[in-house]
Amino acid sequence: MTQDFNGSSSHSAPPLVGACGYADLLIALSTVQNNASGAITDREIALAEVLGFFPKSDKQKLDDDTSDKLVRPQKLSRAVKFIVTDSANVFRPYHLVAIESLQSNEEWQTQGQQSKESGKLTHADMDAWDAQYPVPKAIPIVPWTRLWPRLRQAVACRHTGGIDFNRLTDCVARGIAVRQLPRLNRLAWPNPLTVVLDFSERLTPYWDDWHWLRKNLQNSLHQQAQFYRLQGVPQKQLQRLINGKPEAKFIDWPDLTAGSTLLLASDLGMVDAAHPWPRDCWQSKLNDYKSQGVQVVVLAPVSARHLQSTLVNAAKTVRVSPDSSLRPLARMRTDNDSVSVDKPENYSGRDTLLAMLSVATKVETALLRDLRRCLPDDIQDAGIEGEVWCHQHLDTSALACAVSPYAVNEWRDAFQQLPETLQQRALDCLRNWHAQLPQAIHHEETLLWCYLTDNQGNSNETAHIDKARDFFVRVTNSLKEKQLSASNSAARDLQIQLAGRHLQWVSPVLAKQESYIGDLSVAVADANPERSALGLPEGINPITWLKALPVQTPQKLKLVQQADLSLSLISNFMPETADLGTVPLVDVELDRPAVLWSWDENGVSPNYQIWHWQTAPLDNAPALPSVLSMQEGSGKPPSVLSLYNGRQHLRFKPLSKPAWASEFGQDNYGLYADLEYKGITQRFRWINPGTFLMGSPENEPERFNDELQHPVTLNQGYWLADSTCTQALWLAVMGKNPSRFKDDLNN
């Protein structure tokens, strides 16, 4: 570590091999290298002791001044002694300090829920909820009969045609001299018309509208229009669309000359206020076209509050929404001609739509539009769709979206505050669009809606609730099945995935309402223990969950601390043959395949994690903190370790040196502390709290009638001398030796 440390000393042996990993060594090296002063700090002293180094004596320092001989650490022993210095960061071992008995053996061994009478999943359960229901048609953003004439006026070029005989006749009748024959003004579509459709992710709700626009323009203009697909910012290349299908290769933007027209379907990045970079890219692109004399007509599916003046003024912008006139927007005022980036306000329509989405398992873009059309005040504002799609609480894909699990409870609370009519319209939309999807989606949405709206007793919904509950009970029973055929085994992974996702999505609402939730979570954990490493879904009581696990033959196990500070359960632990650094902590009896553990904070309920001790990999087991993981200067380990095996709650705390001990440590037999008095040392062992049988069995010889066997629980641990009192200790304390045999004071 430093020149003032070495590995051989009259102090104790160094810590056990394996107690420090590569990361610990790197932290130790960094600690020393970052110490510019060269003075030895308390943290360096702590690190040195953990690694097996201790301060040199004055004699060793003198020897080093006259010799270059390398001093090597002494041979490792099976004991770790903890020499307490003034450093607050010296590692203190964890030990069992308290056991709280919560249930009797009879109560605990009562098995949880059994399989219901609903049976198991069948092929019919995989069918659609209502396959006969007609699929609704997606609603365009605006009717084509409205858009076509306005689009023609915005895009078409004006040119002079034949003689305007009506105007000529009127001039002659009025006696007005005709110096030039009046001509007709006619509108003509540019030939060719270049159309770029923006398929960026933020515009996913409008992708169907872009396909609809392309199809109608192609039918009207035939070969006169050329279509291109853009994904991302305008600095990216395009894909040519042939009959609606993009070509594989990417090409540069087409060269447009002065007087040409470009029709662009895009929001120009205005709908996503949180990310200004796309807006800046579009601003640069539009300025380039403006300087080249190219007329750009933008069809922007945005709300009026999304509009940015510099972008609107750089092109002929048409706001595409039912509440728009579909005419090019007038020039907007700017302050000092600077870019104005006004973030959209917290809009009530957006929040209402997000609340409605919180009930849905998935929301397709067509369903999103239908839900938006349910809004009482914002039915005509199509820009809300894009605003919701870009919201930070939404998880999106190319096909559908859903409210993020971490935020869904907030929006479900908002859904409960919506008017009943709006809640009912949300359910109607879900059933219309999801009628032909797998019935698991219908059942899930039914249960969520009914409990969020307090409609469990609604006679119209009773049959739906019963079918939904029976469906997920069948899922539970199928996962509990042990003997699987080849076909059932192949479907098991899909069932586990379905059940696991269902639990995460509905447990916060249904865990305390529907008993099948607890049974299903147990079945998922039993079928795939690795999923439990992620923790239980919100709302599920971990203690109730543990009790419902399948009962196994009770096993007596030893909870031990490995050299790397991880915990493990061993059935046949022998201190004499245990690996170096393996330390016993407590004996436990388990009849479930999992236990619960947590780091407890003062006054805070434990946040239990699951430890599948039979099947889970070691990295899912709890691990004790090392000295290098402590906060510098705190001198305290992170927390108290709690272990719950169903019947008992065990608490482990870091051990501090008893005030009466001259030295304390840890070996393969556990913790010890040495009491020194007048040069005589008596070793004490830490006795863990626990339960044992007191008394004698009835068949024991010379047994008295009052020696009835009964269990006794010691809730607190204590120190006990590891041997009877020696004559030497007696003599040191009492001053005289009354023994009849005094040949050896160790007797």
DSSP-derived secondary structure for 431-483: HHHSTTSBHHHHHHHHHHHHHHTT-TT-HHHHHHHHHHHHHHHHHHHHHH--S
In this structure, are residues 56 and 10 in contact, taking their beta carbons and an 8 Å threshold? Answer: no
Q: Quick: pLDDT tens for 332-353.
A: 987 643 334 444 444 588 999 9
**Element housing 649 (H / E):** strand 648-654
pLDDT at 327: 95
How many CB atoms neighbour CB 597 within 10 A?
20
pLDDT at 634: 53
In this structure, are residues 707 and 737 in contact, taking their beta carbons and an 8 Å threshold? Answer: no
Residue ranges, the chain, pLDDT below 70 = 1-92, 103-117, 158-161, 184, 186, 335-347, 484-488, 601-605, 616-619, 626-638
pLDDT at 420: 94
Could you give the 3-state DSSP secondary structure of residue 356?
Answer: helix
680-690 exposure pattern, b = at least 16 Cβ within 10 A, e = fewer: bebebbbebbb
Q: Which residue has the tokens 């009969």?
A: 145
pLDDT at 581: 76
Tokens of 450: 């009914």
86, 90, 622 from 636: Cα distances, Å: 14, 9, 18
In sequence order, which residues have a C-beta less than 8 Å from that of residue 485 and are 6 or more positions away? Answer: none
In sequence order, which residues have a C-beta less than 8 Å from that of residue 707 and are 6 or more positions away? Answer: 695, 696, 700
How many CB atoms neighbour CB 144 within 10 A?
13
393-415 exposure pattern, b = at least 16 Cβ within 10 A, e = fewer: ebebeeebbbbeeebbeebbeeb
pLDDT at 84: 42
Task: Give the pTM.
Answer: 0.74
Q: Quick: pLDDT tens for 73-124.
A: 333 334 555 444 434 445 567 888 888 777 666 666 665 445 556 788 888 8
How many CB atoms neighbour CB 182 within 10 A?
15
Cα–Cα distance between 257 and 243 in angstroms, integer?
Answer: 26
Tokens of 214: 């392309």
Strands 567-570 and 261-265: unpaired
The conformation of residue 390, written as its DSSP 8-state character, comes to T
pLDDT at 475: 93
Determine whether 699 is exposed, middle or buried from the number of CB atoms within 10 Å of its CB (0-12, 13-18, 19+): exposed
